[in-house]
Amino acid sequence: MDFSIEPVEGQFSLEIKNGLTIGSHTATAAALEVEPAYSFELLVARRLGPSVSLYGGYSRTTFGCGEGFCRGRDLKVTGKHATVGLELQRGSPWVRFGLLFGDTSVGTEGDATEAGIGFRAGTGFAFGLGRLRMRPGISYSWMSANTSSAEDHAMALSLELGVGDTPGLSPPPGLRPGDGEGASRRELFETRTPFQRVER
Protein backbone atom coordinates (compact mmCIF):
# COMPACT_ATOMS: atom_id res chain seq x y z
CA MET A 1 0.00 0.00 0.00
CA ASP A 2 1.19 3.51 -0.83
CA PHE A 3 -0.09 6.12 1.62
CA SER A 4 0.84 9.23 -0.37
CA ILE A 5 -0.81 12.60 0.04
CA GLU A 6 -3.15 13.77 -2.68
CA PRO A 7 -5.23 16.97 -2.77
CA VAL A 8 -8.90 16.44 -2.00
CA GLU A 9 -11.75 17.95 -3.99
CA GLY A 10 -11.53 21.74 -4.12
CA GLN A 11 -7.88 21.96 -3.06
CA PHE A 12 -4.96 23.34 -5.06
CA SER A 13 -1.59 21.73 -5.72
CA LEU A 14 1.69 22.89 -7.25
CA GLU A 15 3.93 20.95 -9.61
CA ILE A 16 7.22 21.52 -11.39
CA LYS A 17 8.13 19.25 -14.30
CA ASN A 18 11.61 18.87 -15.74
CA GLY A 19 12.86 16.64 -18.51
CA LEU A 20 14.65 16.04 -21.79
CA THR A 21 12.94 16.71 -25.13
CA ILE A 22 13.59 15.78 -28.75
CA GLY A 23 11.55 17.00 -31.70
CA SER A 24 11.26 18.40 -35.20
CA HIS A 25 10.34 21.71 -36.86
CA THR A 26 8.84 21.87 -40.34
CA ALA A 27 10.89 24.95 -41.27
CA THR A 28 14.18 23.09 -40.75
CA ALA A 29 13.43 20.51 -43.49
CA ALA A 30 14.57 17.76 -41.09
CA ALA A 31 12.79 14.75 -39.58
CA LEU A 32 12.65 13.89 -35.88
CA GLU A 33 16.10 14.59 -34.46
CA VAL A 34 17.71 13.01 -31.41
CA GLU A 35 19.19 16.26 -30.15
CA PRO A 36 17.81 16.40 -26.58
CA ALA A 37 17.53 19.62 -24.61
CA TYR A 38 16.12 20.62 -21.24
CA SER A 39 12.43 21.56 -20.88
CA PHE A 40 10.27 22.49 -17.90
CA GLU A 41 6.72 23.33 -16.81
CA LEU A 42 5.29 25.15 -13.79
CA LEU A 43 1.71 24.11 -13.06
CA VAL A 44 -1.09 24.87 -10.60
CA ALA A 45 -3.93 22.35 -10.40
CA ARG A 46 -7.32 22.28 -8.70
CA ARG A 47 -8.97 18.96 -7.87
CA LEU A 48 -12.51 18.98 -9.31
CA GLY A 49 -13.49 15.48 -8.22
CA PRO A 50 -12.09 12.14 -7.04
CA SER A 51 -10.16 11.56 -10.28
CA VAL A 52 -10.34 14.85 -12.28
CA SER A 53 -8.18 17.97 -11.96
CA LEU A 54 -8.01 21.25 -13.89
CA TYR A 55 -4.49 22.62 -14.38
CA GLY A 56 -2.83 25.68 -15.85
CA GLY A 57 0.61 27.23 -15.96
CA TYR A 58 3.68 28.01 -18.04
CA SER A 59 5.61 25.65 -20.33
CA ARG A 60 9.02 26.06 -21.96
CA THR A 61 9.81 23.31 -24.48
CA THR A 62 13.32 23.14 -26.00
CA PHE A 63 15.05 20.65 -28.29
CA GLY A 64 18.14 20.64 -30.47
CA CYS A 65 18.27 21.13 -34.22
CA GLY A 66 21.22 19.74 -36.17
CA GLU A 67 19.97 18.89 -39.66
CA GLY A 68 18.44 20.86 -42.55
CA PHE A 69 19.28 24.54 -42.36
CA CYS A 70 20.40 23.99 -38.74
CA ARG A 71 23.44 21.99 -39.86
CA GLY A 72 26.61 23.49 -38.41
CA ARG A 73 24.76 26.33 -36.67
CA ASP A 74 24.08 24.93 -33.15
CA LEU A 75 20.48 26.16 -33.02
CA LYS A 76 17.70 25.18 -30.64
CA VAL A 77 13.93 25.18 -31.13
CA THR A 78 12.14 26.82 -28.20
CA GLY A 79 8.42 26.98 -27.49
CA LYS A 80 7.11 29.32 -24.79
CA HIS A 81 3.46 28.75 -23.93
CA ALA A 82 0.69 29.24 -21.46
CA THR A 83 -1.09 25.94 -20.92
CA VAL A 84 -4.45 24.79 -19.54
CA GLY A 85 -5.99 21.33 -19.50
CA LEU A 86 -7.49 18.39 -17.64
CA GLU A 87 -5.90 15.47 -15.83
CA LEU A 88 -7.50 12.11 -15.07
CA GLN A 89 -5.98 9.90 -12.37
CA ARG A 90 -7.25 6.60 -10.96
CA GLY A 91 -4.83 5.18 -8.46
CA SER A 92 -1.27 5.52 -9.69
CA PRO A 93 -1.72 5.99 -13.51
CA TRP A 94 -2.58 9.44 -14.87
CA VAL A 95 -3.25 11.02 -18.26
CA ARG A 96 -3.32 14.69 -19.28
CA PHE A 97 -4.57 16.62 -22.27
CA GLY A 98 -4.17 20.38 -22.59
CA LEU A 99 -4.01 23.35 -24.93
CA LEU A 100 -0.94 25.51 -25.52
CA PHE A 101 -0.92 29.16 -26.51
CA GLY A 102 2.29 30.94 -27.40
CA ASP A 103 5.10 31.01 -29.96
CA THR A 104 7.87 28.69 -31.13
CA SER A 105 11.16 29.93 -32.55
CA VAL A 106 14.37 28.51 -34.01
CA GLY A 107 17.32 30.32 -32.46
CA THR A 108 17.06 34.10 -32.54
CA GLU A 109 17.21 34.59 -36.29
CA GLY A 110 14.58 34.88 -39.00
CA ASP A 111 11.16 36.52 -39.12
CA ALA A 112 9.22 37.49 -36.03
CA THR A 113 7.18 34.64 -34.57
CA GLU A 114 3.41 34.75 -34.18
CA ALA A 115 1.44 33.33 -31.27
CA GLY A 116 -0.71 30.31 -32.02
CA ILE A 117 -2.55 27.37 -30.47
CA GLY A 118 -1.15 23.87 -29.95
CA PHE A 119 -1.82 20.89 -27.73
CA ARG A 120 -0.04 18.50 -25.38
CA ALA A 121 -0.94 14.98 -24.25
CA GLY A 122 0.92 13.02 -21.59
CA THR A 123 0.73 9.93 -19.42
CA GLY A 124 2.64 8.39 -16.54
CA PHE A 125 2.25 7.20 -12.98
CA ALA A 126 2.47 8.75 -9.52
CA PHE A 127 3.90 7.63 -6.21
CA GLY A 128 4.36 9.23 -2.83
CA LEU A 129 7.65 10.28 -1.27
CA GLY A 130 6.78 11.76 2.10
CA ARG A 131 4.49 14.72 1.49
CA LEU A 132 5.65 15.01 -2.13
CA ARG A 133 4.16 13.28 -5.18
CA MET A 134 6.66 12.06 -7.77
CA ARG A 135 5.17 11.87 -11.27
CA PRO A 136 7.41 10.41 -14.01
CA GLY A 137 5.89 10.36 -17.50
CA ILE A 138 6.12 11.05 -21.21
CA SER A 139 4.38 13.68 -23.32
CA TYR A 140 3.77 14.62 -26.94
CA SER A 141 3.41 18.27 -28.00
CA TRP A 142 2.23 19.89 -31.23
CA MET A 143 3.15 23.58 -31.30
CA SER A 144 2.31 26.34 -33.73
CA ALA A 145 5.49 27.89 -35.16
CA ASN A 146 4.07 30.47 -37.56
CA THR A 147 6.03 33.56 -38.54
CA SER A 148 5.09 36.70 -40.39
CA SER A 149 6.08 35.02 -43.68
CA ALA A 150 5.34 31.29 -43.23
CA GLU A 151 3.06 28.78 -41.55
CA ASP A 152 5.03 26.11 -39.69
CA HIS A 153 4.72 23.87 -36.68
CA ALA A 154 6.92 21.84 -34.35
CA MET A 155 6.44 18.47 -32.66
CA ALA A 156 8.18 17.33 -29.47
CA LEU A 157 8.53 14.18 -27.36
CA SER A 158 9.52 14.62 -23.72
CA LEU A 159 10.66 12.27 -20.98
CA GLU A 160 9.97 14.11 -17.75
CA LEU A 161 9.66 13.98 -13.97
CA GLY A 162 7.10 16.04 -12.10
CA VAL A 163 7.36 16.86 -8.40
CA GLY A 164 4.09 17.93 -6.80
CA ASP A 165 3.11 19.38 -3.43
CA THR A 166 -0.15 20.52 -1.84
CA PRO A 167 0.51 23.52 0.43
CA GLY A 168 -1.01 23.09 3.86
CA LEU A 169 -1.27 19.30 3.74
CA SER A 170 0.90 17.02 5.81
CA PRO A 171 0.69 13.43 7.06
CA PRO A 172 -0.67 12.74 10.54
CA PRO A 173 1.99 13.22 13.25
CA GLY A 174 4.44 10.33 13.28
CA LEU A 175 3.35 8.87 9.91
CA ARG A 176 6.39 8.35 7.69
CA PRO A 177 6.85 6.87 4.19
CA GLY A 178 6.39 3.12 4.46
CA ASP A 179 4.34 3.27 7.68
CA GLY A 180 1.09 1.38 7.65
CA GLU A 181 2.06 -2.14 6.73
CA GLY A 182 -0.08 -4.43 8.89
CA ALA A 183 -1.97 -1.60 10.56
CA SER A 184 -5.69 -1.13 10.23
CA ARG A 185 -7.30 1.75 8.39
CA ARG A 186 -8.74 3.07 11.67
CA GLU A 187 -5.37 2.95 13.44
CA LEU A 188 -3.67 4.95 10.67
CA PHE A 189 -6.25 7.45 9.50
CA GLU A 190 -8.61 8.23 12.36
CA THR A 191 -7.37 11.82 12.50
CA ARG A 192 -8.54 15.35 11.85
CA THR A 193 -5.53 16.22 9.67
CA PRO A 194 -7.03 17.53 6.36
CA PHE A 195 -5.56 15.12 3.86
CA GLN A 196 -6.87 12.35 1.65
CA ARG A 197 -5.57 8.81 1.85
CA VAL A 198 -4.75 7.19 -1.49
CA GLU A 199 -4.60 3.41 -1.24
CA ARG A 200 -3.01 1.46 -4.11
Domain span at 176: 4-198
Q: Is 26 helix (H, G, I), strand (E, B) or coil?
A: helix
Given CA atoms 28, 34, 39, 43 in this order, what sign does their dihedral have? positive
Chain centroid, CA 50 distance in Å: 20
- Average pLDDT (165-177) is 58
pLDDT in tens, 6-27: 566 678 899 999 999 999 888 7
Instruction: Give the model's confidence band at 192: pLDDT under 50 very low, under 70 low, under 90 confident, else very high.
Output: very low
Identify the CA nearest to 61 among candidates 83, 46, 45, 44: 83
Rounded alpha-carbon distances, angstroms, from residue 149 to 31, 35, 116, 146, 153: 22, 27, 14, 8, 13
Rounded alpha-carbon distances, angstroms, from residue 186 to 2, 125, 183, 190, 197: 16, 27, 8, 5, 12
As beta bridge partners, residue 21 has 37, 158
Domain count along the chain: 1
Report the pLDDT value the prediction gives residue 69, as an integer from 0 to 100: 72
d(CA 7, CA 53): 10
d(CA 185, CA 170): 18
Average predicted confidence (pLDDT) for the chain: 80
CATH classification of the domain holding 81: 2.40.160.20
Report the pLDDT value the prediction gives residue 109, as an integer from 0 to 100: 64
Considering only residues 129 and 79, tell me which one the structure prediction assigns the higher pLDDT. Answer: 79
Q: Residue 187: exposed, middle, or buried by beta-carbon count in 10 A (0-12, 13-18, 19+)?
A: exposed
Rg (CA), the chain: 20
Rounded alpha-carbon distances, angstroms, from residue 81 to 42, 67, 127, 151: 11, 25, 28, 18
Given CA atoms 107, 113, 115, 119 in this order, what sign does their dihedral have? negative
Considering only residues 68 and 115, tell me which one the structure prediction assigns the higher pLDDT. Answer: 115
